[in-house]
Amino acid sequence: MKALAATGDRTLVRFAETSEPTPATDAAVIQVEAFSVNRGEILAMTGAYGTPTVPGTVMGQDVVGRVVAAAADGSGPAVGTRVVGHAEGGGWAERVPVPTSALVELPDAMPTTTAAALPLAGLTALRLLRHVEAPADKKALITGASGGVGHYLVELATAAGIAVTAVAASPERGARLAELGAAVIHDVTDADGPFEVIFESVGGDVFADALARIAPGGTVLWFGQASLRPIRLSFFEYLTVSPFTLKHFPHWVADTTDAEDLRVLVDLTAQGRLHPEIGRVADWAETASVLADLNNRRIRGNAILTIDA
């Protein structure tokens, strides 16, 4: 079958012929109709996390399509069911196995491209918000807010009663965040704190500037380092500040399954209470150029690639 494999060079991916999936007994095989690409996948391929992805590896987690082979253990959706899934990898391909614990059936009316934007970014935002106790009337600062996670997080947080200040690099990138109820600023140093909650995903000086605006007893949820610059912390700068909590947040650690949380995201979207921000839709033949644009922040929100049958 055809798939997009990592190249190990600046092009990042190219088409290759790969073997058909060999699913585990608890996984269904999905005929992929669309997938979302995420900046984390780019960072993995380029080696920002350490060793670059091995050339020939097929990346991809966020997929939408139809079940063409049901799970052998009898779990999950039947053949022909239209689903959204959070694959363990290999999603940039014509077919991919996905554990049934990470698959959810889609309503007929939900567009394929809308559903494809939900998994990784949506799961991250939903799970981040669960770390905020008694969210109503709290003040929160969200850095790097114009990406896929940021849009979901702003909408979910404002719906929970949180007063959100969102940092976006430009008025154009912040316009949609304002529509979702956030007070938008373009530099974290302009933030009018203090904030009981800080959602930080940029790193470098942005982390330190955000932390300087923490309320006594507040919580910092650290879920990324998009700038690729290490954070800076000095104990003595906060010696006279009431204790705050710094939580490292990996999105895949949760008390719920991906399927359970994908169902929440699908239902909220179907009810018109969650609105995926899709900045680009293109044929999967354009994946390499879309990855370049995403990496250089020329895409606001999610980027979706479609596969024609």
Q: What is the pTM of this model?
A: 0.94
Tokens of 271: 């009810």
Tokens of 305: 């690639």
Question: Do 128 and 199 contact (CB within 8 A), yes or no?
Answer: yes
Per-residue pLDDT at 309: 64
102 DSSP assignment: G
Query: Cis link prior to 276 (omega < 30° from 0)?
Result: no
pLDDT (tens digit, 0 to 9) for every residue of the chain, 309 residues total? 999 999 999 999 999 999 999 999 999 999 999 999 999 999 999 988 888 999 999 999 999 999 999 999 999 999 999 999 999 999 999 999 999 999 999 999 999 999 999 999 999 999 999 999 999 999 999 999 998 999 999 999 999 999 999 999 888 888 999 999 999 999 999 999 899 999 999 999 999 999 999 999 999 999 999 888 999 888 888 777 778 999 999 999 999 999 999 999 999 999 999 999 999 999 999 999 999 999 988 998 899 999 986
Per-residue pLDDT at 50: 83
Question: Do 89 and 60 contact (CB within 8 A), yes or no?
Answer: yes
Please enumerate, as own/partner, the contacts of 270-274 that have beta carbons within 8 Å and a separation of 24 or more. 270/107, 270/109, 270/110, 273/159, 274/122, 274/152, 274/155, 274/156
**CA 213, CA 284: separation in Å to the nearest integer?**
42
Q: Where are the beta strands (DSSP E) in 125-194?
A: 139-142, 163-167, 183-185
Tokens of 71: 């799970």
The model's pLDDT over 167-206, given as tens digits with 9 standing for 90+, comes to 998 888 889 999 999 999 999 999 998 999 999 999 999 9
216 contact partners, CB below 8 Å, separation of at least 6: 194, 241, 242, 243, 244
**CA 125, CA 121: separation in Å to the nearest integer?**
6
Per-residue pLDDT at 208: 92
240 contact partners, CB below 8 Å, separation of at least 6: none
Per-residue pLDDT at 129: 97
Per-residue pLDDT at 241: 72
288 contact partners, CB below 8 Å, separation of at least 6: 11, 12, 13, 14
**216 backbone dihedrals φ, ψ, rounded to 5°:** -55, 130
Per-residue pLDDT at 217: 92
Other Cβ atoms within 10 Å of 8 Cβ, number: 16
H helix runs in 103-254, sequence order: 112-116, 119-129, 148-159, 171-179, 204-211
Question: Do 167 and 187 contact (CB within 8 A), yes or no?
Answer: yes
Question: Do 6 and 54 contact (CB within 8 A), yes or no?
Answer: yes
Other Cβ atoms within 10 Å of 70 Cβ, number: 19
Q: At what angle do helices 148-159 and 119-129 cross, to 10 degrees?
A: 40
CA within 13 Å, CB half, 197:
26
Distance spanning both ends of the chain, measured CA to CA: 13
